[in-house]
Amino acid sequence: MGKKMHIQMQVNGKAEEFLAEPRELLIYTLRERLNITGPHIGCETSHCGACTVTLNGKSVKACTVFVAQADGAEITTIEGLGTPDALHPLQTAFKEHHGLQCGYCTPGMITRATKLLEENPNPTEEEIRFGMAGNICRCTGYQNIVKSIKAAAAEMNAAKEAAE
């Protein structure tokens, strides 16, 4: 057991502060320490993306980030994207277009998609498929995930246009 480190981070807008062993993985911090169980563990080798969160504006796989690396970071998980009364357009679109089945990959998938659309608000199908290739889904075959992301992009662009 190593010496504990003093860690501070913002998770979904809330300040967190605690002592942790440097070897603690961010996914463990979120799920076990902070009770944020939206991000899931699927592989622990960065391949599946079930644990995807946004860390300082970038999509990362929380299963292979040490909590020490996340000291001082701003983190957003699926829990920070929308509320039951005001869902994120991606959350609505995944339901509308049957973009999920067992739901296990969904939090990581949607969290990743928010970044994709932030970086590229109007992606082609190819760009969506490439941009989502770090997130594995075993149920849907991706066709409806692509459809959901396209629909959310259109929805978000229309809302943006209306606001301008």
- Which residues contact another protein by CB under 8 A? 1, 21, 23-24, 28, 31-32, 35-45, 47-48, 50, 77-79, 82, 84, 87, 91-92, 94-96, 98, 100-107, 110, 128-130, 132-146
Least CB distance to another protein at residue 85 (A): 11
When the beta carbons of 73 and 128 are compared against another protein, the nearer one is: 128
Going by C-beta distance under 8 Å and a sequence separation of 6 or more, which residues neighbour residue 4? 19, 20, 21
Q: Any residues with CB less than 8 A from the CB of 160 and at least 6 apart, and which?
A: 121
> What three-state secondary structure class fits 75?
strand
Nearer to another protein, 45 or 163 (CB): 45
Q: Check if the beta carbon of residue 67 is closer than 8 Å to that of residue 34.
A: no
Q: Which is nearer to another protein, 9 or 99 (CB)?
A: 99
CA angle 58, 63, 69 (to 5 degrees): 60
Smallest gap from residue 140 Cβ to another protein (A): 5
Minimum distance between the CB of residue 144 and another protein, rounded to whole angstroms? 6
CB of 164 to another protein, least distance (A): 28
Nearer to another protein, 113 or 163 (CB): 113
CA–CA gap between residue 157 and residue 63 (Å, rounded) = 32
Closest CA to 128 of 102, 98, 88, 115: 115
